[in-house]
């Protein structure tokens, strides 16, 4: 077996031939710095060691930021693909009723929501017949209901997309599903000149599905495509 002196010589040769092996190992560098500080004594301040600690802390923050940016980019890409798939599924139906029913089936599944409600304002009784045919996904309401529902009585400008985390105030919109809806996205719809506004309400059981601090660009794009489809069906 090699004696201690030979082992030290081999280690020295290895370090001299590949110094980056030591420099890239954080634990070894910490051990060397600690040994150096101990050798200097308690009355000596090693500015190089302090600088290295600060640089390491800055590097750690940069790495955390880098990971956060990458995670946000992947999340945004996934959200974009999700909305694009939902739009393609929405464009498939060739009849109005199947178009609306696709919202609660394939489109709702793609968007990972638990309830989809199309709200149309109308002052005509004939809309009730359409509601009866389409089941629970269509809600016909009086003029002004959508603005009141989104604003919750506050005198604030309405955005096209409103995201919030809350339980519905009543079951008037979501019906039996209101008991487990924890967050929702309200998409205001412009159905064309001379028509009352509409709203697409997406309800989720997950309270973090829709939050006020989330971006709304993708849902605004989805709402824009949906309202154009509605205008086409409404003639």
pLDDT digit string, tens, across residues 164-219: 987 766 677 887 777 888 999 999 999 888 888 899 999 999 998 998 888 888 99
Report pLDDT for 220: 93
Q: pLDDT at residue 17 above 80? A: no
Dig out the tokens for 117 from the structure: 């409600």
Average pLDDT over residues 7-14: 75
pLDDT class of 231 with cuts at 50, 70, 90: confident
Report pLDDT for 27: 72
Query: Which range is least confidently modeled, 24-38, 109-123, 151-165, 198-212?
Result: 24-38
**Domain 95-234, CATH:** 3.30.450.40
Report pLDDT for 176: 78
Report pLDDT for 95: 84
Q: pLDDT at residue 234 above 80? A: no
Average pLDDT over residues 147-151: 88
Q: What is the mean pLDDT of the chain?
A: 79
E-state strands within 95-235: 115-121, 138-141, 161-165, 183-189, 198-204
Long-range contacts of 179-185 (CB under 8 A, 24+ apart): 180/114, 180/205, 181/114, 181/115, 181/205, 182/206, 182/207, 182/209, 183/207, 183/208, 183/209, 183/210, 183/211, 184/210, 185/113, 185/161, 185/210, 185/219
Average pLDDT over residues 53-71: 75
Q: pLDDT at residue 223 above 90? A: yes
Query: Which range is least confidently modeled, 27-31, 122-126, 140-144, 217-221?
Result: 122-126
65, 203 contact by CB (below 8 A):
no
User: What are the residues whose beta carbons fall under 8 Å from the beta carbon of 79, sequence distance 6 or more?
Assistant: 218
**Residue keyed to tokens 């923050």:** 61
More confident residue, 122 or 21: 122
Q: pLDDT at residue 12 above 70? A: yes
Report pLDDT for 130: 54
Report pLDDT for 51: 67
Domain ranges in the chain are 95-234
Report pLDDT for 124: 61
């Amino acid at each position: 077996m090699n004696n201690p002196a030979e082992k030290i010589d081999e280690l020295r040769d290895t370090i001299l031939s590949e110094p980056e092996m030591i420099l890239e190992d954080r634990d070894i560098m910490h051990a060397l710095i600690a040994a150096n500080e101990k050798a200097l004594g308690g009355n000596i301040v090693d500015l190089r060691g302090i600088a290295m600690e600060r640089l390491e802390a800055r590097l750690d923050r940069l790495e955390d930021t880098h990971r956060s940016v990458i995670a946000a980019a992947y999340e945004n890409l996934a959200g974009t693909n999700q909305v694009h798939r939902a739009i393609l599924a929405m464009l498939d139906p060739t009849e109005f009723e199947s178009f609306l029913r696709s919202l609660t089936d394939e489109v709702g599944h793609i968007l990972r929501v638990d309830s989809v409600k199309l709200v149309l304002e109308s002052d005509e009784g004939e809309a009730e017949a359409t509601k009866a045919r389409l089941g629970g996904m269509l809600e016909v309401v009086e003029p002004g209901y959508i603005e009141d529902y989104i604003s919750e009585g506050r005198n604030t400008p309405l955005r096209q997309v409103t995201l919030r985390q809350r339980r519905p105030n009543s079951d008037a919109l979501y019906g039996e599903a209101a008991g487990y809806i924890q967050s929702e996205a309200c998409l205001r719809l412009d159905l064309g000149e001379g028509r009352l506004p509409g709203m697409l309400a997406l309800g989720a059981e997950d309270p973090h599905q829709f939050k006020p601090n989330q971006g709304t660009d993708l849902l605004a794009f989805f709402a824009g495509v949906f309202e154009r489809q509605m205008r086409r069906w409404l003639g």
